Amino acid sequence: MSLDIMASFSETGKRASLPSLLLLLALFTATLRIADAQIGVCYGMMGNNLPSKREVVDLYRANNIRRMRLYDPNQEALEALRNSGIELMLGVPNSDLQSLAASRANAEQWAQRYVFNYYPSVNIKYIAVGNEVSPVGGSSWAAQYVLPAIQNVYQAIRGRGLHDQIKVSTAIDMTLIGTSYPPSKGSFRNDVRSYLDPIIGYLVYANAPLFVNVYPYFSYSGNPGDISLPYALFTSPNVVVWDGSRGYQNLFDAMLDSVHAALDSTRIGYVKVVVSESGWPSDGAFGATYDNAKTYLDNLIRHVNKGTPMRPGPTETYIFAMFDENQKNPELEKHFGLFYPNKQKKYPFGFGGHRNWQIAADNEFNVTIPLKSDI
């Protein structure tokens, strides 16, 4: 839909019938949705030099970043998000899982304080109950609490009739995948199935997605002999891995499809995947360079609308992270930011996959469409 066509209603002063105006707007909106990148950015706060919460929300809006992941329900950030239009993935920290699992009343109090007191002026889309919890390893203590915490929060949301608007899930990492090659043979580790299968069953019941943190950087840096840098950075000129009729030119798609296959192989039911983290550090470890990070992130932003060989179509993806965070460890964890703490962009690319627009309807049905150039 040409912007000139839309703008002509105002410029010529001509009247338009309401049906024709609505049709034009519907076509224009459809064009915007097709062009809209499926990108969000994770807002971590582990730095002592970061901007105020209000400044951060303003920075998201100024850069056309329309989705945010928060790792805990920081009330100052929630206040700053009011009426921003930013879609929010709201996190429940692992430290809160035991309390929310203990009783429905605890979950209802949590939901009242951090969800119902803000929604809908804060556009909460997801609640991520726990992050990278595994029944084996350092977070094993929390595994028993994840599903009951999810269920209690879900029931609190359902009690307000919001379970179709706000989906409740959890975020896992790729260490729960046992087999990832070839992607179609992806499967979860046997020692995590008793933990994951009931969660997957809940997700099917609630029609909620699974959140997965996908980092080709760590796969590449841990095995550079077998994984080429172009394959990890989306720059391979040709298919690197053939899996039957499916060809993979990048590691991100291969990793993501191994998760799709692992979910399918449980035969519990269909579950959508949202990539809740992906990024590349610009310093601090092997392969962590400015150029590599710039290439990966720019290509990721361009790629996610295409989907994967196994799941064509847009893949909602959250980049980690908004800022370099100087209180994180080890060293490479300090260098994942898209922005420096002074709000300057680290990389030249932007998030311009759409145009700002608004309808100003009066007796003439005038339409004004202010354009905002890509930043």
Give the active site residues.
Answer: 132, 277
Residues 6+ apart with CB under 8 A from 350: 63, 64, 374, 375
Q: Would you say 172 and 121 are in contact if contact means Cβ atoms under 8 Å apart?
A: no
E-strand spans in the chain? Answer: 39-43, 67-70, 87-92, 123-131, 167-173, 177-179, 187-188, 210-213, 241-243, 246-248, 273-278, 317-319
Would the CA dihedral through 265, 267, 268, 269 be positive or negative?
positive
What is the biggest distance separating any 2 CA atoms in the chain, rounded to whole angstroms? 69
Taking the chain, what is the end-to-end CA distance rounded to the nearest angstrom? 22
CA–CA distance, 230 with 236 (Å, rounded to integer): 5
CA distances in angstroms from 301 to 123, 279, 353, listed in the order given: 22, 11, 10
Q: Are 339 and 62 in contact (CB under 8 A)?
A: no
How far, in Å, CA of 268 to CA of 245, rounded? 25
